[in-house]
Amino acid sequence: GKHWTVNEVRALIRIWSDKNIQQQLEGTVRNKRIFEQVAARLQKFGIDRDWKQCRTKYKNLKHEYKSVKSAQDSGSTSKSMKFFNELDAILGHCTMEQARKSDN
Protein backbone atom coordinates (compact mmCIF):
# COMPACT_ATOMS: atom_id res chain seq x y z
CA GLY A 1 0.00 0.00 0.00
CA LYS A 2 1.04 3.63 -0.14
CA HIS A 3 3.35 5.05 2.47
CA TRP A 4 1.87 6.51 5.64
CA THR A 5 2.54 10.22 6.04
CA VAL A 6 3.56 11.74 9.35
CA ASN A 7 0.08 13.26 9.69
CA GLU A 8 -1.58 9.92 9.05
CA VAL A 9 0.55 8.20 11.67
CA ARG A 10 -0.15 11.03 14.14
CA ALA A 11 -3.88 10.63 13.56
CA LEU A 12 -3.62 6.86 13.99
CA ILE A 13 -1.72 7.31 17.27
CA ARG A 14 -4.26 9.89 18.45
CA ILE A 15 -7.08 7.40 17.92
CA TRP A 16 -5.02 4.59 19.42
CA SER A 17 -4.39 6.70 22.54
CA ASP A 18 -8.15 6.69 23.21
CA LYS A 19 -8.56 4.65 26.42
CA ASN A 20 -11.60 2.90 25.00
CA ILE A 21 -9.69 1.71 21.91
CA GLN A 22 -6.73 0.64 24.07
CA GLN A 23 -8.91 -1.46 26.34
CA GLN A 24 -10.50 -3.16 23.35
CA LEU A 25 -7.09 -3.85 21.80
CA GLU A 26 -5.62 -5.20 25.02
CA GLY A 27 -8.47 -7.64 25.48
CA THR A 28 -8.44 -9.32 22.07
CA VAL A 29 -6.45 -10.80 19.22
CA ARG A 30 -9.35 -10.92 16.77
CA ASN A 31 -9.51 -7.20 16.32
CA LYS A 32 -10.89 -6.60 12.84
CA ARG A 33 -13.94 -4.76 14.23
CA ILE A 34 -11.76 -2.46 16.33
CA PHE A 35 -9.62 -1.55 13.33
CA GLU A 36 -12.75 -0.95 11.28
CA GLN A 37 -13.66 1.66 13.92
CA VAL A 38 -10.15 3.10 13.73
CA ALA A 39 -10.36 3.33 9.93
CA ALA A 40 -13.76 5.03 10.20
CA ARG A 41 -12.34 7.59 12.61
CA LEU A 42 -9.36 8.23 10.32
CA GLN A 43 -11.85 8.89 7.54
CA LYS A 44 -13.22 11.78 9.61
CA PHE A 45 -9.72 13.31 9.47
CA GLY A 46 -9.87 12.84 5.70
CA ILE A 47 -7.49 9.87 5.80
CA ASP A 48 -8.43 6.98 3.57
CA ARG A 49 -7.07 3.74 5.03
CA ASP A 50 -8.81 0.39 5.34
CA TRP A 51 -8.81 -1.68 8.52
CA LYS A 52 -6.04 -3.96 7.28
CA GLN A 53 -3.72 -1.02 6.65
CA CYS A 54 -4.52 0.33 10.11
CA ARG A 55 -3.86 -3.01 11.76
CA THR A 56 -0.60 -3.53 9.89
CA LYS A 57 0.62 -0.03 10.78
CA TYR A 58 -0.39 -0.57 14.39
CA LYS A 59 1.51 -3.87 14.53
CA ASN A 60 4.58 -2.35 12.88
CA LEU A 61 4.63 0.65 15.22
CA LYS A 62 4.17 -1.59 18.23
CA HIS A 63 6.95 -3.91 17.10
CA GLU A 64 9.33 -1.04 16.38
CA TYR A 65 8.50 0.56 19.73
CA LYS A 66 9.22 -2.69 21.58
CA SER A 67 12.58 -3.19 19.89
CA VAL A 68 13.65 0.41 20.63
CA LYS A 69 12.38 0.07 24.20
CA SER A 70 14.28 -3.15 24.86
CA ALA A 71 17.43 -1.67 23.30
CA GLN A 72 17.09 1.30 25.66
CA ASP A 73 16.46 -0.99 28.62
CA SER A 74 19.70 -2.79 27.87
CA GLY A 75 21.54 0.53 27.86
CA SER A 76 21.77 1.15 24.13
CA THR A 77 20.92 4.63 22.91
CA SER A 78 21.64 3.97 19.25
CA LYS A 79 18.11 2.81 18.44
CA SER A 80 15.38 5.38 18.18
CA MET A 81 12.21 5.98 16.24
CA LYS A 82 9.81 8.72 15.30
CA PHE A 83 6.78 8.85 17.62
CA PHE A 84 8.59 6.96 20.39
CA ASN A 85 7.34 9.34 23.08
CA GLU A 86 3.76 9.22 21.83
CA LEU A 87 3.86 5.43 21.80
CA ASP A 88 5.59 5.29 25.16
CA ALA A 89 2.69 7.27 26.61
CA ILE A 90 0.31 4.59 25.33
CA LEU A 91 2.38 1.43 25.63
CA GLY A 92 4.80 2.29 28.43
CA HIS A 93 2.25 1.63 31.14
CA CYS A 94 1.14 -1.78 29.88
CA THR A 95 4.69 -3.03 29.35
CA MET A 96 5.51 -1.97 32.92
CA GLU A 97 2.48 -3.88 34.20
CA GLN A 98 3.53 -6.97 32.28
CA ALA A 99 7.12 -6.60 33.47
CA ARG A 100 5.95 -6.43 37.08
CA LYS A 101 3.78 -9.53 36.63
CA SER A 102 6.67 -11.55 35.24
CA ASP A 103 8.99 -10.41 38.06
CA ASN A 104 6.76 -11.88 40.76
The domain locations on the chain are 6-99
Contact of 22 with 16, CB cutoff 8 Å: yes
pTM of the model: 0.82
**Cβ proximity of 86 and 65 under 8 Å:** no
Where is mean pLDDT largest: 20-24, 26-30, 40-44, 74-78?
Answer: 40-44
Burial of 10 by CB count in 10 Å (0-12 exposed, 13-18 middle, 19+ buried)?
middle
Whether 12 contacts 54, CB under 8 Å: yes
Mean pLDDT (whole number) for 53-64: 96
> Is the pLDDT score of 13 beyond 50?
yes
What is residue 80's predicted lDDT score, i.e. its pLDDT?
Answer: 86
CA distance 84 to 61: 9
Q: What is the mean pLDDT of residues 74-88?
A: 90
pLDDT of residue 98: 52
